[in-house]
Chain A
Amino acid sequence: MTFAAPPSASPPTPSDTVLETRTLVAGYEAGLPIVKGIDFQLRKGAFVTILGPNGAGKSTFVKAIAGLVPKFSGDVLLNGKAVTAAAPHHMIRSGLAFVPQTENIFATMTIRENLQLCAAILPDRALLRQRTDAAYAMFPDLARRPGLLAGSLSGGQRQMLATARALLADPSVLILDEPSAGLSPKLVAEVFGTIATVRRTGVAIVLVEQNVRAALRIADDALVLVEGRVRHHGPAADLVDNPALGAMFLGDRSGINAETGR
């Protein structure tokens, strides 16, 4: 098969797209859209970080994809199938795992029980055990004391557990909603370590992040949202050391104009 092009060189094709939104409009209250028509495509195994100033609709966008925020119009496609109206508990069955920003583990249950909840979507006990063992191998911190109440874990470990629980479903897309929010710098490094580990599994990742520099270092592509619309979508490397970046996060157009006009 010498004539076959290497996968990295092939252009994105529809069959290559795991997640797609088509002019998605979403928000909490009817008539008050926060996400104002976003078109977005995610290729198999790709890593995109969603950036933007506060109130840009980053979290609302990913929550709407996961079915946690009402969608007003537009479509969400997962592996080519429309899942726009699917209930949140169906999304993980269709291959989309979502890790919320806070309260993303069941604090009153043990680490083991948190992972066992995956039995709801994985009736095959042997497969569940096999994947649980793989999750423990990936995150040895969790394997050390599986009987520990999840509520007693550190912020970084909670993020590990939430991510491990999401990965048990073997999703094609993993959405992480600001995993480093509210954590100390040391724990932020731990969380980014977790993400780097997850990345090696080949799952496509959508990372919403306030920690712009760290996110751009780890992601392939960046999607910048401002006021519910896509401002920029391109390789993450293009945005690194871009003087306009800071201005973009302040939502300050004059700043960008000043930079480009120089």
Chain B
Amino acid sequence: MNPQALLDGLVAGSMIGLGAIGVTLTYSIMRFANFAHGEFISWGAYFALTAAVSFASTFGIGIDPLGPFSFGWALPLACVLSVVLTALLALALDWLLFRPLRRRNSEMIILVIASFGASIALRSLLEFIFTNAPRYYSDSLQISMPLFAGIRATPDQLLMLGVTAVLFIGVHLVLSHSETGRQMRAASENPALAEVAGIDVARVVRMVWIFGGGLAAAAGVMAGLVVQIRPYMGFNLLLPLFAAAILGGIGSVPGAVIGGIFVGLCEAVTVQMIGAEWRQAVAFLILAAVLVLRPNGIFGKKTP
């Protein structure tokens, strides 16, 4: 096996992991599988694209590549704006669609199907606005540099791994040590008791959308940077996202990230050893195997 699969897998796995955090939080607190989560990734990528292009064309700044990277100042700034906009998109979708259904005490399957509809609508809207043609944050080509043991990586890929590590550690610390994190865990275990204990569960739900949407946007910008930007980019990540979230155990943030990296590594190894056409099958096989062998996942505490 070529050790290069390790790096490719880590890069793909970080994007999956960041996306899976949102899936696992939504599932554990609102108790439904949000099929529209992939669309937050796509919209995040396009929000950042639009913002970066606007910054560059309006102010003429941020085009020149920063040091060894393929992009200029415009992209990091656009990424921050995209995180905010995608979080707002997630909140708006909840307000328009999921909250009215929750108020009616709709069954879980209704929410799942509604999220499926939202996914189609959001994806079609992207195709309508931006067409199906792939887009890129930068035209500049990056030469990957040799690291060790024959592994090569582009500066963009290394930056991405670094940013993922920082985001993951940050989110983990917030959820495990802060007041908000404690309230999220309480609402996840028993929403009615959380209310009785004085926790505003509606506020906790808003925090979940902000975290999930924001991290999805970060994943989208990274995927756009190292692969390309397409309306289907998020939808194609959906199966790996669910495989990672369920493998890690619903509700567990470290589980989602470790699950994401595992799925990414398995994909990379499969591409190398069997063939690229089997990449999509890997997440499916992992998902099926976890559901049969260990439905609560690695870090799962209870049946979701």
Contacts and interface: CB of A to CB of B under 8 A. Distances in A.
A93 B189 contact: no
A188 to B, nearest CB: 22
A87 B196 CA distance: 9
A194 interface: no
A103 B198 contact: no
Q: Is the interface of B mostly helix, strand, loop or mixed?
A: helix
A98 B194 CA distance: 11
Contacts of B198: 89, 92-93, 117-118, 120-121, 169
A100 B183 contact: no
B185 A108 contact: yes
Q: Which of B183, B185, B198, B199 has the most CB of A within 10 A?
A: B198
A121 B196 CA distance: 11
Contacts of A99: 196
Given A89-B201, A103-B190, A120-B179, A109 B196 contact: no
A157 interface: no
A68 B192 contact: yes
B196 A106 contact: no
Nearest to B195: A88
A165 B186 CA distance: 13
B301 interface: yes
Contact of B197 (A103, A108, A117): A117
Nearest to A104: B193
A150 B197 CA distance: 15
Contacts of B201: 89
A89 B179 CA distance: 16
B193 A103 contact: yes
B200 A89 contact: yes
Given A117-B182, A119-B179, A89 B199 contact: yes
Contact of B189 (A68, A106, A121, A165): A106
Contacts of B192: 68, 88, 100
A116 interface: yes
B174 to A, nearest CB: 15
Interface string A65-79: 011100000000000
Interface string B165-183: 0000000000000010011
A120 B196 CA distance: 11
Q: Which of B179, B183, B197 has the most CB of A within 10 A?
A: B197
Contacts of A165: 197
Q: Which of A103, A106, A113, A118 has the most CB of B within 10 A?
A: A106
Query: Which 10 pairs between the two chains have the least Cβ-Cβ distance?
Result: A88-B195, A121-B198, A92-B198, A120-B198, A89-B195, A89-B200, A120-B199, A98-B196, A89-B198, A106-B189
Interface of B: 179, 182-183, 185-186, 189-190, 192-201, 301-302
14 contacts: A87-B200, A88-B192, A89-B195, A89-B201, A100-B192, A100-B193, A100-B196, A106-B186, A108-B189, A108-B302, A109-B189, A117-B186, A118-B198, A120-B179
Given A117-B183, A120-B199, 10 more contacts: A68-B192, A87-B195, A89-B200, A91-B196, A92-B196, A100-B193, A106-B193, A119-B179, A120-B197, A120-B200
